[in-house]
């Protein structure tokens, strides 16, 4: 571990000063914001990341591509992260949903199975080409800025596990908000720093320079507030959520009786554009 440094960095969310955190991840010193308690790795902000290589990694193939190949959309919709969305954001007739950073489209499949009019975008041509093999809905190689230039508008914008990759999260949220119709809704998720698995992660795709920001609830909520969203609510995403079907739910209760551990792996935020 490198020696503790006195260098000061401004928080990429609230711009307040930070101090070195005792923790290093991937050889990068983390800093903690004095205001919102965001942890971030500023010395990794300018490092380039080959996302096509990430999408070809064994971990991504197993977590994302294999899920598309082996599960239908309804089963994907029961994934703990996506279930939080469906519990918070009711669908209405004609609602358009944009998933930003969709990767191979796993959430898009789940939303499509719930009858959403869904479009996914990602900057990786490789991820989109893989996802299109499974998709019955639009998946596009595009950026938020390109959609803004084209005048696109949506009722709901989502970003699952995107903010932690960005050195400028507020700029992203403000741009995503621009794509919303008045009264539109935004829903984002991030890994939860207050989870032992996240704090002690060794997978390269969980570490800097791939993950740059490490959120707690106060940091995620502050990001939503400063981006101009209103009516903000936040919550926890637990590993091994209770299944909805009877037999899997019985097995879930058995695991709880045996005190099998559950972890607060992620956080979600839901907010609205004033309308």
Give the domain ranges of the chain: 50-72+88-152
In sequence order, which ranges of 137-216 are alpha helices (DSSP H)?
144-149, 169-178, 196-199
- pTM for this one? 0.90
Q: Could you give the residue ranges of the DSSP H alpha helices within the chain?
A: 51-55, 58-60, 66-70, 73-76, 80-88, 106-113, 125-132, 144-149, 169-178, 196-199, 217-226, 246-257
Does the pLDDT of residue 242 top 80, yes or no?
A: no
Q: Of residues 119 and 252, which shows the higher confidence score?
A: 119
What is the number of helices (H) and of strands (E) in the chain? 12, 11
As given in the structure block, the two tokens for residue 206 are 């969980």
Residue 99's H or E segment, with its range, is strand 96-100
Instruction: Give the pLDDT confidence of 51-76 residue by residue, as tens digits.
Output: 888 888 888 888 788 888 878 878 88
Residue 2 pLDDT level (bands cut at 50, 70, 90):
very low
> Residue 169: phi, psi to the nearest 5?
-65, -35
The per-residue pLDDT for range 127-149, each reduced to its tens digit, is 999 999 999 999 999 999 999 99
Residue 201, pLDDT > 90, answer no
Tokens 């909520």 belong to 221
Contact 52, 92 (CB under 8 A): no
pLDDT value at 241 more than 80? no
Region 172-180: mean pLDDT is: 97
Residues 269 and 102: their CA atoms lie apart, in Å, by 17
Q: Tell me if residue 215 falls in helix, strand or coil.
A: strand
Quick one: fold of 50-72+88-152?
Answer: Rossmann fold (3.40.50)
Q: 58: Cβ–Cβ under 8 A, 6 or more apart, which residues?
A: none
């Amino acid at each position: 571990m490198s020696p503790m440094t006195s260098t000061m960095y401004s928080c990429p969310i609230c711009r307040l000063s930070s101090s070195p955190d005792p923790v290093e991840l991937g050889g990068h010193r983390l800093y903690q914001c004095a205001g919102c308690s965001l942890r971030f790795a500023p010395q990794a902000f300018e490092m380039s990341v080959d996302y096509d290589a990430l999408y070809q990694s064994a971990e991504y193939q197993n977590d994302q591509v294999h899920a598309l190949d082996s599960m239908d959309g309804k089963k994907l919709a029961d994934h703990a992260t996506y279930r939080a969305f469906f519990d918070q954001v009711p669908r209405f007739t004609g609602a358009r949903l944009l998933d930003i950073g969709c990767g191979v489209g796993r959430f898009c499949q789940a939303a499509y199975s719930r009858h959403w009019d869904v479009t996914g975008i990602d900057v990786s041509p490789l991820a989109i080409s893989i996802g299109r093999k499974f998709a019955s809905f639009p998946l596009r190689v595009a950026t938020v800025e390109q959609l803004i230039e084209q005048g696109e508008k949506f009722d709901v914008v989502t970003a699952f596990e995107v903010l932690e990759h960005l050195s400028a999260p507020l700029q992203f949220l403000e741009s995503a908000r621009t794509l919303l119709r008045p009264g539109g809704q935004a829903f984002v998720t991030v890994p939860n720093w207050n989870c032992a698995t996240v704090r002690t992660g060794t997978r390269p795709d969980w570490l800097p320079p791939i993950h740059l920001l490490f959120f707690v609830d106060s940091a995620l909520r502050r990001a939503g507030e400063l981006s101009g969203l209103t009516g903000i609510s936040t919550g926890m995403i637990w590993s091994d959520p209770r299944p909805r079907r009877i037999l899997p739910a019985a097995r879930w209760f058995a695991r709880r009786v045996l005190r099998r551990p559950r972890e607060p792996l992620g956080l979600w935020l839901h907010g609205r554009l004033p309308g």
